[in-house]
Structure 1
Amino acid sequence: MSSPSSPSSLLLLPRLDAGNVLAVAFALGSALVADTINRHVPLPYIDEIFHAPQATRFCVGDYGSYDAKLTTPPGLYLVSLAFGRILPLFDCTDLRFLRATNLVLLVCLPHLLAAIVESYEDQREKRAIQLDTHRLQRQGGPGAAVELPPGYSERPIDGARSTVAMTDAPADPPPSLPRSIHARSKRAGISRETVRAIQEQAKRQAAARAAAHGDGEGEVPASVEAAGPTTGVTTTSTVTNPSPAHASSPPRPRDSVPGSLQSIYSSSAVQRKLRRQRGDAWRTSLGHTVALLPPLWFFGFLYYTDVGSVFFILATLLCVQRQRRWAAATLGAVSLLFRQTNVVWLVYIVASSLLSDLSRAFPALHDPLASQAGLADLGRSVASVVGILGDRRNGGRLASLLLRNVAPFVPVLAGVAWFVRWNGSIVLGDQSNHQAGVHVPQLLYFLLFATVFGWPAILAAQPLSSSSRRRQEGEEERKAPGLTNALSSLVDSVAVLTRRTVRHMLGSASAVATTGVLCWAIKEAVGRYTIEHPFLLADNRHYTFYLWRKVWRRHEAVRFALVPVYLVCARMCTLLLGIKQVKQQRSSTNSASYSQRASH
């Protein structure tokens, strides 16, 4: 019988790391806040006076009556009803139980966000492997055979023309460890002995490859067995050259092309392992940061549709990223039962997925980075789309892409169209107070909101200058205090963001002209399409009540004084999108173009 401290008993305990601690703290803190609110606000609050009674009717089996003041479908009530059936010991009609519906979704939301970030990282890694694979195939010469290591399969990925894909099969430890990975390994908690053993193994493999390369053989068996004292790893790497001509050619620079697909695969395996070891806590913290967005977190303790709406639309995005589009369509339909206006986000997700596949399948498509796009790029993009559609040779691929990306969502979108036609409005009830209209400034409010709450992400995404990188490396070597390093990076990020924003808005004659046109367009939108809804000033328990009364409504000139602020916020958001697009779009576009060259 093992003692409590034995390894067998420790395996039964969850791994204690920063991510798990943060998740537990977030759940406990949210539960305490929910309990405090339930004790001090035991009666329905604000719009709960409509939602709670309707949910109660569902809980007792009354599905035939629906409050005419409710503008949304019964998605929230159906989820509460399902929880009530699963947990029959609780009273489904109790307001505390109904509020707990959103509390459960709120606690799960950070983990959903972390999964979305991890899925994005996996996609970027696979596209980078595609790029290296195409590079090997091109430099191997016409008809070169490339040996696929374990974990690869011959199948297309995301509509790209590449046929080399990476699966999630477990990999052997790598024969080489790049410097960047070595730096990350120290943060990941990998022992120095393990890193040193892998480096020694890489040196022996490099020496074996160099010796065999000097013999001029067509096949270079680099069977290097290295069993480190702490790793116990045995790795065999074989590089297959297509012809003796290539064997006798001078060696290429070290960083130009990887030695083999095995080295690509092994390096990728290390990156995945390191990312999972160091990245779980980071992704979890990122997810909790987003979940703590004040308006979202606040409604997690009330019986509102906000949290459920966000949760299921993000679940739709995750399924699309993982190529599970039928599941995504189902979850998208569920999100529409919370908020009908989620159809906008649903169309955005489908269009983004389709555009991403089109960019990889058709490199001729003009799709510039958001941070580099101008007004002239709109016409070029339309012209490139027309050119692709007009080429009959592209018919098969276009049909395949449309079928894969759009077909699962057609029934959902058709259902929304039927509902609007049958109901006469996008809202379910109280249609007299919820009329559709052109409200362009709402997009401007969204940009301002996103910039105010998203400034840490905008600053963190800015590339550091060379002097700042050197200073940061020096501080790391001297083990300078983390606060000093963080403050210097913050100041540098602010300076970089300011310079980039000014350069993009005023850095050239065309930039000045574009800024002037956009300022005029925003001014016209504010002057012509600003809508003051009666409900905006009907309840002083909303933040928007005070913002509108004390800022926007104070003087008419205030609305127009915010025009340059809106434009600066829009430019900062596009710069952030451009930075996020660089790694993803360049790798996918280059991968597709390499594939086309190899096919020729």
Structure 2
Amino acid sequence: MLFQTDNTLRLGAVLLVAAFAYLWFNLVCETVPDPYLDEVFHVRQAENYVKGNWHVWDPKITTPPGLYVVSYLFAIPWQASGLMQVDTTFFRSTNQVGAILLAWVIYQILHILYRNTNHDREDEGTSKDTGSTWRPTELAHAAINICLFPPLFFFYGLYYTDVLSAVSVLLVYKYFLVERHPAVIIAAGLFSLLFRQTNVLWVAVFLGGLAFCRAIPKGQQDANLFNEPTFLNILQASWRHASAYDPPISEASFEDYIKAGLSFAVAGVASGPDVLRPLGPYLVILGVFVQYVLWNGGVVLGDKENHVVSIHLAQMLYLWACFAFFSLPLLYPYLITILPNTTLPSALRLSSIKSRLPRALVSDCIMTIMLAIAYHNTLIHPFTLADNRHYTFYVFRILLRRPSIKYLAVPTYFFCAWAAVAALGGQNAYNQQPTRKKLSKQRRQGMAILPSSPASDLRVSFLLIWLLATAASLVTTPLVEPRYFVVPWLMWRLHVAPLRLDPPTTPSSSNRAGSGKVKGIVEKVLYSTHDHRLWLETVWLLAINMATGYIFLKWGFEWPQEPGSVQRFMW
């Protein structure tokens, strides 16, 4: 019965995503039948491959030819049958297949990450419905929402590399999770490099880092290890036992991330050559990529003058604002905890989240670093302010309107970053039962008492490796585009923990008075067993996609220097 339910949910999620993708694809092809913007280069290159002109390469194209090779393979049966003309519409349909594959792979990953954990806990004699993981219907709902991510959804209707690039990376991640044969991982990883060079950071560096962390025993399993997790004790224990300090994100303080990083480094040295064995597939992928760079004389294939590698640390500031915007329904419970409890509805006075707000000293140090980055390393690529068809043009117009604006934005970056990290750990702070005195105080204040079960098993090591791969993929480019945040967002979103709200034990006076049907509906949504944020996320993402889709299709304009050519706004 469980197997049948999983298949039904997976099929339903894939079909719904396919329907959304086809609707957008159809609207685009009806309104914009000719190649638009970079599609001109991509379609022309794909046409050359379909015609057998494998020696032709457009120097304006900077990414590898994986997209065109896939389109060529799709074109073979259509050309033979004569059922469909191989034109722009045909090439765009490649990403329709990509959308279906994306939904399928995402559901599979979510199933592996969460449903398997449920079964393991049930075998251990604990209830699988602990509130610490997603339920089956929530997995399907989350898979649909992830596929609606606007910078990705937009390109279901255009001929760009983003969709198949994301699919290829997630496929390798799935193989990593189920520990497929190294040869399969190598083949899938090299296939991913055919779509985008920066994929090497996810299929080799990110997964290689996770494999390294997975190969080192965790010190928490030894009762005599890390009883007093001072820096000295952790380093000594890591060297003596070749084990690492790796607490859950839900329990970690800022210092724990530093301790974990040092602990893994020491434990890795102490483990000797044995720790390198699981890294074999990822070292092979990385080695092949290095050979490609040496052969090509650089990372990009063409147009090297406008794609020069540079250090752009401000990208790691924009990342958090991007996450907060697109994932506001997921992060709002964390963001509002910076407000006084008296200003919040009782259901959202989440004491366990509020207790995890960063300490003043930590906040001041991190924001000082962010201010220094904003001052010294805010780079503006010529393309950013030269093309008013992209939304980033208008964002940077605002940021550069006054010199002070980029500094005033730093607290926003900081709290968005904190909320994004907190969402990975779930709702519980330190996984401790609240004391009777603390419970009494929470009840007097009308705070929601959240379940005391562990919110997430995600460890600090995951976040450290994710940050490393994300930084490596972003800070080397001066150009800011939402598309560059797609894979980092996907890896983050796949691991966001659920949030269960229990009604306050003592209703507030406003609750006793009642406020009609609207209040009843709101409470029903908030206290539903189905995480209410998923419904809010669906509405939010659909609203963004509808708005940007309408603007793209209906708000065309002309440049004076190109009369008769319609320009359109896009990501």
* TM-score when normalising by structure 1: 0.60
Q: Does 1:504 align with 2:357?
A: yes
CA-atom RMSD in angstroms:
3.5
CA contact (8 A) 2:192 2:199 kept: yes
Provide the C-alpha distance between the structure 2 equivalents of 1:179 and 1:381, rounded to a whole number of angstroms. 30
Provide the C-alpha distance between the structure 1 equivalents of 2:293 and 2:210, rounded to a whole number of angstroms. 24
Provide the C-alpha distance between the structure 2 equivalents of 1:20 and 1:383, rounded to a whole number of angstroms. 44
Residues 464-491 of structure 1: CA distance to partner in whole angstroms, max 9, x if unpaired? 9xxxxxxxxxxxxxxxxxxxxxxxxx95
Provide the C-alpha distance between the structure 1 equivalents of 2:158 and 2:120, rounded to a whole number of angstroms. 42
Describe the shift of the 1:402–1:572 C-alpha distance in structure 2 as closer, same or farther (beyond 3 A). same
Q: Does 1:351 align with 2:209?
A: yes
1:342 to 199, 202, 205: 199
Could you tell me which amino acid in structure 2 is paired with residue 336 of structure 1? Answer: L
CA contact (8 A) 2:218 2:244 kept: no
Residues 535-556 of structure 1: CA distance to partner in whole angstroms, max 9, x if unpaired? 112222211122222x212212
Counterpart in the other structure of 2:260:
381
Q: Does 1:570 align with 2:422?
A: no
Could you tell me which amino acid in structure 2 is paired with residue 119 of structure 1? Answer: I
Q: Quote the offset at 1:443 in angstroms.
A: 1.4
Could you tell me which amino acid in structure 2 is paired with residue 354 of structure 1? Answer: F
Counterpart in the other structure of 2:471:
none
Describe the shift of the 1:379–1:573 C-alpha distance in structure 2 as closer, same or farther (beyond 3 A). closer
Residues 245-296 of structure 1: CA distance to partner in whole angstroms, max 9, x if unpaired? xxxxxxxxxxxxxxxxxxxxxxxxxxx9xx9xx71x4322211111111111
Q: Quote the offset at 1:91 in angstroms.
A: 5.0
Give the secondary-structure state (helix, strand or coil) at the position aligned to 1:331: helix
Describe the shift of the 1:527–1:297 C-alpha distance in structure 2 as closer, same or farther (beyond 3 A). same
CA contact (8 A) 2:13 2:143 kept: no
Counterpart in the other structure of 1:103:
96
1:513 to 361, 366, 383: 361
1:114 to 104, 107, 110: 107
Give the secondary-structure state (helix, strand or coil) at the position aligned to 1:45: coil
CA contact (8 A) 1:313 1:345 kept: yes
Counterpart in the other structure of 1:240:
none
Residues 577-588 of structure 1: matches in 2 within 5 Å?
Answer: 577-579=424-426, 583-584=456-457
Describe the shift of the 1:502–1:533 C-alpha distance in structure 2 as closer, same or farther (beyond 3 A). farther
Describe the shift of the 1:25–1:71 C-alpha distance in structure 2 as closer, same or farther (beyond 3 A). same
Provide the C-alpha distance between the structure 2 equivalents of 1:414 and 1:357, rounded to a whole number of angstroms. 21
Counterpart in the other structure of 1:77:
68
1:414 to 287, 294, 301: 287
CA contact (8 A) 2:218 2:246 kept: no
Q: Does 1:64 align with 2:55?
A: yes
Counterpart in the other structure of 1:142:
none
Provide the C-alpha distance between the structure 2 equivalents of 1:122 and 1:361, rounded to a whole number of angstroms. 26
CA contact (8 A) 1:451 1:569 kept: yes
Provide the C-alpha distance between the structure 2 equivalents of 1:428 and 1:314, rounded to a whole number of angstroms. 24
Counterpart in the other structure of 2:540:
none
Residues 410-441 of structure 1: CA distance to partner in whole angstroms, max 9, x if unpaired? 22111111222232321111010011111111
Counterpart in the other structure of 2:152:
296
Greater alpha carbon shift after TM alignment, 83-92 vs 432-441: 83-92
CA contact (8 A) 2:425 2:456 kept: no
* TM-score when normalising by structure 2: 0.63
Could you tell me which amino acid in structure 1 is paired with residue 109 of structure 2? Answer: I
CA contact (8 A) 1:552 1:558 kept: yes
Provide the C-alpha distance between the structure 1 equivalents of 2:179 and 2:312, rounded to a whole number of angstroms. 35
Describe the shift of the 1:353–1:579 C-alpha distance in structure 2 as closer, same or farther (beyond 3 A). farther
2:183 to 317, 321, 326: 326
Residues 198-237 of structure 1: CA distance to partner in whole angstroms, max 9, x if unpaired? xxxxxxxxxxxxxxxxxxxxxxxxxxxxxxxxxxxxxxxx
Describe the shift of the 1:359–1:577 C-alpha distance in structure 2 as closer, same or farther (beyond 3 A). farther
Provide the C-alpha distance between the structure 2 equivalents of 1:382 and 1:18, rounded to a whole number of angstroms. 39
Q: Quote the offset at 1:17 in angstroms.
A: 6.1
Residues 35-50 of structure 1: matches in 2 within 5 Å?
Answer: 35-50=26-41
Give the secondary-structure state (helix, strand or coil) at the position aligned to 2:107: helix
1:369 to 248, 252, 271: 248
Structure 1: which 5+ runs fail to align? Answer: 1-12, 133-175, 185-271, 465-489, 506-510, 589-600
Residues 22-41 of structure 1: matches in 2 within 5 Å?
Answer: 23-41=14-32
Could you tell me which amino acid in structure 2 is paired with residue 107 of structure 1? Answer: I
Describe the shift of the 1:330–1:179 C-alpha distance in structure 2 as closer, same or farther (beyond 3 A). closer
Q: Does 1:524 align with 2:372?
A: yes
Give the secondary-structure state (helix, strand or coil) at the position aligned to 2:426: helix
CA contact (8 A) 2:334 2:353 kept: no
Q: Does 1:314 align with 2:170?
A: yes
Provide the C-alpha distance between the structure 2 equivalents of 1:81 and 1:14, rounded to a whole number of angstroms. 37
Counterpart in the other structure of 2:561:
none
Give the secondary-structure state (helix, strand or coil) at the position aligned to 1:369: coil
Describe the shift of the 1:389–1:350 C-alpha distance in structure 2 as closer, same or farther (beyond 3 A). closer
Describe the shift of the 1:531–1:362 C-alpha distance in structure 2 as closer, same or farther (beyond 3 A). same
Provide the C-alpha distance between the structure 2 equivalents of 1:57 and 1:578, rounded to a whole number of angstroms. 49
Describe the shift of the 1:420–1:44 C-alpha distance in structure 2 as closer, same or farther (beyond 3 A). same
Structure number with greater Rg is 1
Q: Quote the offset at 1:109 in angstroms.
A: 1.4
Give the secondary-structure state (helix, strand or coil) at the position aligned to 2:308: coil
CA contact (8 A) 2:17 2:99 kept: no
Counterpart in the other structure of 2:399:
552
Counterpart in the other structure of 2:556:
none
Describe the shift of the 1:23–1:377 C-alpha distance in structure 2 as closer, same or farther (beyond 3 A). closer
Residues 497-542 of structure 1: CA distance to partner in whole angstroms, max 9, x if unpaired? 8x7357522xxxxx21111111110011111111111111222221
Give the secondary-structure state (helix, strand or coil) at the position aligned to 2:383: helix
Give the secondary-structure state (helix, strand or coil) at the position aligned to 2:35: coil
What is the aligned residue count?
A: 400
| Paired-residue identity, % | 29
Give the secondary-structure state (helix, strand or coil) at the position aligned to 2:284: helix
Q: Does 1:457 align with 2:330?
A: yes
